[in-house]
Amino acid sequence: MRILIACEFSGVVRRAFRARGHDAWSCDLLPAEDGSEFHLQMDAIAAVFAREWDLMVCHPPCQHLAVSGARWFKDKAKEQEAALEFARSLLNAPIPRIALENPISIISSRIRKPDQIIQPWQFGHGETKATCLWLKNLPKLVPTNIVEGREARVHRMPPGPDRWKERSRTFTGIAEAMADQWGNHEGAA
Protein backbone atom coordinates (compact mmCIF):
# COMPACT_ATOMS: atom_id res chain seq x y z
CA MET A 1 0.00 0.00 0.00
CA ARG A 2 1.03 3.62 -0.62
CA ILE A 3 0.91 5.18 2.81
CA LEU A 4 1.38 8.76 3.98
CA ILE A 5 2.24 9.37 7.62
CA ALA A 6 1.49 13.07 7.88
CA CYS A 7 3.00 15.29 10.60
CA GLU A 8 5.63 12.77 11.66
CA PHE A 9 9.24 13.78 12.27
CA SER A 10 10.16 10.64 14.24
CA GLY A 11 9.54 8.00 11.58
CA VAL A 12 8.07 5.60 14.17
CA VAL A 13 4.88 4.84 12.22
CA ARG A 14 6.64 5.01 8.83
CA ARG A 15 9.18 2.38 9.92
CA ALA A 16 6.44 0.06 11.25
CA PHE A 17 4.64 0.08 7.88
CA ARG A 18 7.84 -0.17 5.82
CA ALA A 19 8.96 -3.17 7.89
CA ARG A 20 5.83 -4.92 6.60
CA GLY A 21 6.63 -4.18 2.97
CA HIS A 22 4.53 -1.05 2.42
CA ASP A 23 5.52 2.00 0.42
CA ALA A 24 5.23 4.28 3.44
CA TRP A 25 6.41 7.88 3.61
CA SER A 26 6.49 10.28 6.52
CA CYS A 27 5.88 13.99 6.02
CA ASP A 28 6.61 16.96 8.26
CA LEU A 29 7.72 20.57 8.04
CA LEU A 30 10.76 19.34 10.01
CA PRO A 31 13.38 16.97 8.63
CA ALA A 32 13.15 13.28 9.50
CA GLU A 33 14.84 12.64 12.81
CA ASP A 34 16.31 9.39 11.43
CA GLY A 35 17.51 11.00 8.19
CA SER A 36 15.35 8.63 6.14
CA GLU A 37 15.10 9.04 2.38
CA PHE A 38 11.42 8.12 2.73
CA HIS A 39 10.49 11.47 4.24
CA LEU A 40 8.82 14.43 2.57
CA GLN A 41 9.82 17.66 4.25
CA MET A 42 6.81 19.70 3.21
CA ASP A 43 3.33 20.80 4.15
CA ALA A 44 1.05 17.82 4.78
CA ILE A 45 -1.78 19.14 2.61
CA ALA A 46 0.62 19.52 -0.32
CA ALA A 47 1.83 15.95 0.33
CA VAL A 48 -1.77 14.67 0.23
CA PHE A 49 -2.05 15.92 -3.36
CA ALA A 50 1.54 15.07 -4.39
CA ARG A 51 0.59 11.51 -5.38
CA GLU A 52 -2.09 8.87 -4.86
CA TRP A 53 -2.25 7.32 -1.42
CA ASP A 54 -4.18 4.28 -0.15
CA LEU A 55 -3.96 5.18 3.53
CA MET A 56 -3.00 8.21 5.61
CA VAL A 57 -2.17 8.23 9.31
CA CYS A 58 -1.86 11.81 10.56
CA HIS A 59 -0.75 13.44 13.78
CA PRO A 60 -1.60 17.16 13.46
CA PRO A 61 -0.19 19.54 16.08
CA CYS A 62 -2.31 19.67 19.22
CA GLN A 63 -0.93 22.69 21.10
CA HIS A 64 -3.91 24.87 20.16
CA LEU A 65 -6.47 22.08 20.35
CA ALA A 66 -5.70 19.90 23.38
CA VAL A 67 -8.14 20.31 26.23
CA SER A 68 -5.18 20.18 28.64
CA GLY A 69 -4.31 23.71 27.40
CA ALA A 70 -7.85 25.05 27.84
CA ARG A 71 -6.77 27.89 30.14
CA TRP A 72 -4.97 29.53 27.18
CA PHE A 73 -7.85 29.14 24.70
CA LYS A 74 -9.17 32.70 25.08
CA ASP A 75 -5.80 34.15 23.96
CA LYS A 76 -5.42 32.08 20.83
CA ALA A 77 -8.73 31.98 18.99
CA LYS A 78 -7.08 32.60 15.61
CA GLU A 79 -4.46 29.89 16.02
CA GLN A 80 -7.16 27.54 17.19
CA GLU A 81 -9.32 28.14 14.10
CA ALA A 82 -6.30 27.55 11.86
CA ALA A 83 -5.44 24.32 13.70
CA LEU A 84 -9.05 23.14 13.40
CA GLU A 85 -9.10 23.95 9.70
CA PHE A 86 -5.89 21.95 9.23
CA ALA A 87 -7.37 18.94 11.04
CA ARG A 88 -10.59 19.27 9.02
CA SER A 89 -8.65 19.34 5.74
CA LEU A 90 -6.75 16.20 6.72
CA LEU A 91 -9.97 14.39 7.69
CA ASN A 92 -11.54 15.40 4.36
CA ALA A 93 -8.52 14.46 2.25
CA PRO A 94 -9.31 12.42 -0.87
CA ILE A 95 -7.65 9.27 0.46
CA PRO A 96 -9.76 6.12 0.93
CA ARG A 97 -8.55 5.25 4.44
CA ILE A 98 -7.62 7.82 7.07
CA ALA A 99 -6.70 7.77 10.75
CA LEU A 100 -6.20 11.08 12.57
CA GLU A 101 -4.62 10.98 16.02
CA ASN A 102 -4.81 13.69 18.69
CA PRO A 103 -5.08 13.92 22.47
CA ILE A 104 -8.43 14.78 24.07
CA SER A 105 -9.08 17.95 22.08
CA ILE A 106 -11.68 20.35 20.81
CA ILE A 107 -11.79 18.41 17.55
CA SER A 108 -14.40 16.35 19.46
CA SER A 109 -16.71 19.31 20.06
CA ARG A 110 -15.95 21.34 16.91
CA ILE A 111 -15.67 18.65 14.23
CA ARG A 112 -16.88 15.32 15.56
CA LYS A 113 -16.37 12.85 18.37
CA PRO A 114 -13.48 10.40 17.97
CA ASP A 115 -14.20 6.83 16.94
CA GLN A 116 -11.92 5.45 19.62
CA ILE A 117 -9.77 6.47 22.59
CA ILE A 118 -6.71 4.31 23.20
CA GLN A 119 -4.01 4.20 25.88
CA PRO A 120 -0.33 3.21 25.61
CA TRP A 121 -0.87 0.59 28.36
CA GLN A 122 -3.12 -1.32 25.93
CA PHE A 123 -0.15 -1.67 23.55
CA GLY A 124 2.72 -2.73 25.80
CA HIS A 125 3.78 0.60 27.38
CA GLY A 126 3.08 1.05 31.10
CA GLU A 127 1.84 4.61 30.67
CA THR A 128 -1.33 6.65 30.51
CA LYS A 129 -1.90 9.11 27.69
CA ALA A 130 -5.44 9.20 26.31
CA THR A 131 -5.12 9.25 22.54
CA CYS A 132 -8.15 9.82 20.31
CA LEU A 133 -8.51 8.31 16.85
CA TRP A 134 -10.81 9.63 14.14
CA LEU A 135 -11.17 6.90 11.55
CA LYS A 136 -12.36 6.71 7.94
CA ASN A 137 -12.84 3.21 6.51
CA LEU A 138 -10.57 1.67 9.14
CA PRO A 139 -11.46 -0.63 12.03
CA LYS A 140 -10.84 0.36 15.64
CA LEU A 141 -7.43 -0.73 16.89
CA VAL A 142 -7.54 -3.90 18.96
CA PRO A 143 -5.26 -3.78 22.05
CA THR A 144 -2.23 -5.99 21.53
CA ASN A 145 -0.60 -6.22 24.96
CA ILE A 146 -2.36 -4.89 28.06
CA VAL A 147 0.23 -4.21 30.76
CA GLU A 148 -0.11 -3.33 34.42
CA GLY A 149 1.83 -0.05 34.62
CA ARG A 150 -0.22 3.16 34.62
CA GLU A 151 2.37 5.94 34.87
CA ALA A 152 1.86 9.45 33.44
CA ARG A 153 5.49 9.78 32.29
CA VAL A 154 4.79 13.03 30.51
CA HIS A 155 4.59 14.93 33.80
CA ARG A 156 8.09 13.80 34.77
CA MET A 157 9.76 14.97 31.58
CA PRO A 158 12.28 17.76 32.25
CA PRO A 159 11.60 21.14 30.64
CA GLY A 160 13.60 22.01 27.57
CA PRO A 161 13.33 22.87 23.88
CA ASP A 162 12.81 19.25 22.84
CA ARG A 163 10.26 18.34 25.48
CA TRP A 164 7.38 18.61 22.99
CA LYS A 165 9.14 16.09 20.73
CA GLU A 166 9.44 13.53 23.51
CA ARG A 167 5.80 14.14 24.47
CA SER A 168 4.49 13.79 20.95
CA ARG A 169 6.55 10.87 19.66
CA THR A 170 4.23 7.96 18.77
CA PHE A 171 4.57 4.88 21.00
CA THR A 172 6.15 2.01 19.08
CA GLY A 173 3.53 -0.48 20.34
CA ILE A 174 0.76 1.68 18.88
CA ALA A 175 2.67 2.08 15.59
CA GLU A 176 3.12 -1.71 15.35
CA ALA A 177 -0.60 -2.26 15.95
CA MET A 178 -1.49 0.30 13.26
CA ALA A 179 0.79 -1.41 10.74
CA ASP A 180 -0.42 -4.92 11.62
CA GLN A 181 -4.12 -4.10 11.76
CA TRP A 182 -4.47 -1.40 9.09
CA GLY A 183 -1.71 -2.42 6.67
CA ASN A 184 -3.86 -4.97 4.87
CA HIS A 185 -7.29 -3.63 5.60
CA GLU A 186 -9.33 -3.05 2.46
CA GLY A 187 -11.96 -0.94 4.21
CA ALA A 188 -15.33 -0.07 2.77
CA ALA A 189 -14.13 2.64 0.38
Q: Does 28 bind ligand SAM (CB under 6 A)?
A: yes
Here's the x/- map for ligand SAM, 88-107, by CB under 6 A: it reads as --------------------
Least CB distance to ligand SAM at residue 9 (A)? 4
Q: How far is CA 2 from CA 30, 54, 89, in A?
A: 21, 5, 20
CA separation for the pair 85, 72 (Å, rounded): 19
Among 36, 61, 67, 180, interactor with ligand SAM by CB under 6 A? 61
84 φ, ψ (degrees, to nearest 5): -65, -40
Count CA within 13 A, CB hemisphere, residue 174.
25
Segment lying near ligand SAM (by CB under 6 A), choices 17-25, 68-76, 147-155, 164-172: 164-172
Are the C-beta atoms of residues 63 and 69 closer than 8 Å to each other?
A: yes
29 binds ligand SAM, rule: CB under 6 A? yes
Site for ligand SAM (CB under 6 A): which residue of 57, 168, 171, 177? Answer: 168
- By the 8 A CB rule, do 28 and 39 touch? yes
Among 4, 7, 87, 133, binds ligand SAM (CB under 6 A): 7
Residue 122 in contact with ligand SAM, rule: CB under 6 A: no
| Residue 176 binds ligand SAM, judged by CB under 6 A | no
Q: State how far the Cα of 24 lies from the Cα of 58, in Å rounded to an integer.
A: 13
Taking CA atoms, 141 is separated from 3, 19, 135, 173, 183, in Å, by: 17, 19, 10, 11, 12
Minimum distance of ligand SAM from residue 25's CB (angstroms)? 12
- Under the binding rule (CB under 6 A), the answer on residue 43 touching ligand SAM is yes
For binding to ligand SAM (CB under 6 A), which residues are involved?
7-10, 12, 27-30, 43-44, 59, 61-62, 168-170
